[in-house]
Amino acid sequence: MSENSPKNNNVQELQQNLEQIQDIMTGFMKSYESLDMDPFKLGAAYTEWMSAVASNPQKLFNEGLEFWRNSIELSHQTMRGLMGGEPESVVEVDKADRRFRHDDWSHKPVFSAIKQSYLLSSQWLRSLVTDVEGLDAHTAEKVKFFTERYIDALSPTNFALTNPAVIEKIVETNGSSLVNGLKNMLNDLEDGNGQLRISMTDTDAFTLGENVAASKGKVVFQNRMFQLVQYSPSTSKVLKRTLLIVPPWINKFYILDLQPKNSFLKWATDQGHTVFVISWVNPDANYANTEFSAYVQEGVVTAVDAIAATTGEDEVNAIGYCIGGTLLATSMAYMKSNNDDRIKTATFFTTMLDFSEPGELGVFIDEDQVGSLEEKMSETGYLEGSSMAGAFNLLRANDLIWSFYVNNYLLGNDPRPFDLLYWNSDSTRMPKAMHSWYLRNLYMQNQLVKPNAIEVDTVGIDLSSIDAPACFVSTIDDHIAPWKSTYMGATRLGGEVSFILGGSGHIAGIVNPPEANKYGFRISKELPETAEAWLEHAEEHEGSWWNTWNDWVYQHSGNTMVAARSPEDGGLSPIEDAPGTYVQCKMDDDVPQLAYTDLSAARPVKAKSAAKAAKAKTRTEADAKPTKTAAKSAKKAKSDAPSKATAEKAANDDLTKINGIGPKLASSLKENGVTSFAQLAAMSADEIVQMLVDMDPRNKRFNPSEWPAQAEKLAKK
- Residues with a catalytic annotation lie at 322
Residue 392 CB contacts under 8 Å (≥ 6 apart), including other chains:
400, 480
Residue 1 buriedness (CB in 10 A; 0-12 / 13-18 / 19+): exposed
> Residue 598 carries which side chain, given as an amino acid letter?
D
The SS3 call for residue 51 is helix
Dist. CA 181–CA 189, nearest whole Å? 12
Helix (H, G, I), strand (E, B), or coil: what is residue 210? coil
DSSP 285-319: GGGTT--HHHIIIIIIIHHHHHHHHHHS---EEEE
User: Closest Cα to residue 583, out of 211, 213, 210?
Assistant: 213
Q: Tell how far CA 305 is from the center of its chain.
A: 24
Q: Which residues contact 337 (CB under 8 A, 6 or more apart)?
A: 459, 460, 461, 462, 465, 659, 660, 662
Distance between CA 518 and CA 508 in Å, rounded? 10
Neighbouring-strand partners of residue 63? none
Partners of 472 in beta bridges: 348, 499
CA angle 351, 356, 361 (to 5 degrees): 65
Buried b (16+ CB within 10 A) or exposed e, 203-220: eeebebbeebbbbebbbb
Strand blocks (E) in 452-587: 455-456, 459-460, 470-475, 497-502, 521-524, 539-541, 561-563, 576-577
Gap between the Cα atoms of 420 and 405, Å rounded: 18
CA separation for the pair 529, 224 (Å, rounded) = 42
Q: How many CA atoms lie within 13 A of 601 on its CB side?
A: 6
Task: Give the residue from 333, 292, 331, 346 showing the smallest Cα distance to 549.
Answer: 346
Angle, nearest 10°, between helix axes 176-191 and 6-30?
A: 20
| Amino acid of residue 672 | N
Spatial CB neighbours of 648, under 8 Å, sequence gap ≥ 6: none
In whole angstroms, what separates CA 130 from the centre of its chain?
Answer: 30
Distance CA 364, CA 361 (A): 6
Taking a C-beta distance cutoff of 8 angstroms, is the pair 127, 63 a contact?
yes
Q: SS3 of 219, please? A: strand
How far is residue 557's CA from residue 386's CA, in Å, rounded to a whole number? 39
Cα–Cα separations (whole angstroms), residue 450 to 179, 283, 403, 411, 453: 56, 30, 42, 52, 5
Q: Which ranges in 134-270 belong to alpha helices (H)?
A: 137-153, 164-173, 176-191, 264-270
* Length of the chain counted residue by residue: 717
Q: What does the alpha-carbon distance between residue 215 and residue 265 come to, in Å, rounded to a whole number?
A: 8
Please, are residues 542 and 280 in contact by the beta-carbon 8 Å criterion?
no
CA dist list (Å): 338 to 110, 332, 391, 660: 71, 10, 37, 4
SS3 221: strand
3-state SS string for 465-479 = HCCCCEEEEEECCCC
User: Which residues are 539's β-sheet partners?
Assistant: 523
